[in-house]
Structure 1
């Protein structure tokens, strides 16, 4: 196989955690650029600068490698949304911080958001389960705040939380597709203002 221009030189021995990180980084580059189906383990190994047997020592197959990446980035999304919600007790600022978290995730280096939001494996059960779990965890955290502050029933609060997650995800992906025609901070504030105007209409619990 002809080496890709970005292939790493072979021969460097790394501790297992560092090697795993290297392999995941190479896999992300290939999956993001080509999608799951077009990506080849040969190319991922070449990009990482290792032999295929080394790659298979860490990941038994392409799906397992993809799922490891998906787990990592889905967990990262949940983490930054949690941090946004915990960053303040002011609900208007919570909305702003949560919207910023989604925009930060979508704008992050390496286009990792594509693995979570634009996967060509969304109909494959283990992929769908992971994406759904991340969305549900984000919605549950938002719903908990809504329910506590407005005494909205839990099921209704969860629906509102899922709506806010969808608003954040879809608007952030659209914003990115426009290649900066609207500054990121302006886009975040616009969507946060829209979300706040809706959610602030619910009466605060006494």
Structure 2
């Protein structure tokens, strides 16, 4: 080899955690665009810039990759909602902050939200259970929050209220998908106007 010849630069290997995160982000986009059934591991691998066998090495299957996407979104949603209510001086303010964090997450993470919204196409897969676990996470988080402000002995009342909040907010999030003019701040106030009256009475028992 001549002194001036250069050997090809070896591509730096990406750390496993970083590569996994990259795969999840790309898969989330493809699942959102194509739908779970039509999405292919070939396309995901091509967009990531890895081989299809590497995807299977990390996630075992297409369903395993989908589960990883939902689990990642669930972790992030819990983090943002928990952080939002820290230091809230009243139950009303805690609810407002938590709702705003949820609607902001839905607006900023549309692809992740679409995986949850299209759950009917996932019935019969483990992903359906993961979606319900995400709901359960939010319901439990709200119930725990309420217990800190309301009469904690009214377990059923608090649980029912938490279920109602989560169900109602899901529908509002779907409504907002096609309304760019409805900002997270606006929909938060709509939700507060509808929800707080009943919750305030619960707090006053």
Query: Which TM bucket (shorter chain)?
Result: 0.7 to 0.9
Compared with structure 1, are the counterparts of its residues 26 and 182 closer, same or farther at alpha carbon in structure 2 (3 Å cutoff)? Answer: closer
Gaps of 5+ in 2: 1-10
Give 1:166's aligned residue. Answer: 167
Give 1:5's aligned residue. Answer: none
Give the total of aligned pairs: 194
How far, CA to CA, are the matches of 2:125 and 2:16 in structure 1?
29
Question: Alignment partner of 2:181: what SS?
Answer: coil
Give 2:42's aligned residue. Answer: 42
The alpha-carbon deviation at position 133 of structure 1 amounts to 1.7
CA RMSD in angstroms comes to 2.1
The alpha-carbon deviation at position 151 of structure 1 amounts to 4.2
The alpha-carbon deviation at position 110 of structure 1 amounts to 5.1
* Structure 1 contact 32–111 (Cα < 8 Å) conserved: yes
> Are 2:118 and 1:145 equivalent residues in the alignment?
no
* Structure 1 contact 146–152 (Cα < 8 Å) conserved: no
* Structure 2 contact 84–98 (Cα < 8 Å) conserved: yes
The alpha-carbon deviation at position 109 of structure 1 amounts to 3.9
Map residues 37-116 of structure 1 onto 2, 5 A cutoff. 37-109=37-109, 111-116=111-116
TM-score, normalized by length of structure 1? Answer: 0.84
How far, CA to CA, are the matches of 2:145 and 2:109 in structure 1?
30
* Structure 1 contact 73–116 (Cα < 8 Å) conserved: no
Question: Alignment partner of 1:107: what SS?
Answer: helix
Give 1:4's aligned residue. Answer: none
* Structure 2 contact 63–125 (Cα < 8 Å) conserved: no
How far, CA to CA, are the matches of 1:152 and 1:45 in structure 2?
52
Compared with structure 1, are the counterparts of its residues 139 and 202 closer, same or farther at alpha carbon in structure 2 (3 Å cutoff)? Answer: same
> Are 2:16 and 1:19 equivalent residues in the alignment?
no
The alpha-carbon deviation at position 96 of structure 1 amounts to 0.7
Deviations 1:132-188 (A, max 9, x none): 22212221222233344134521221111010111122102211222x133332222
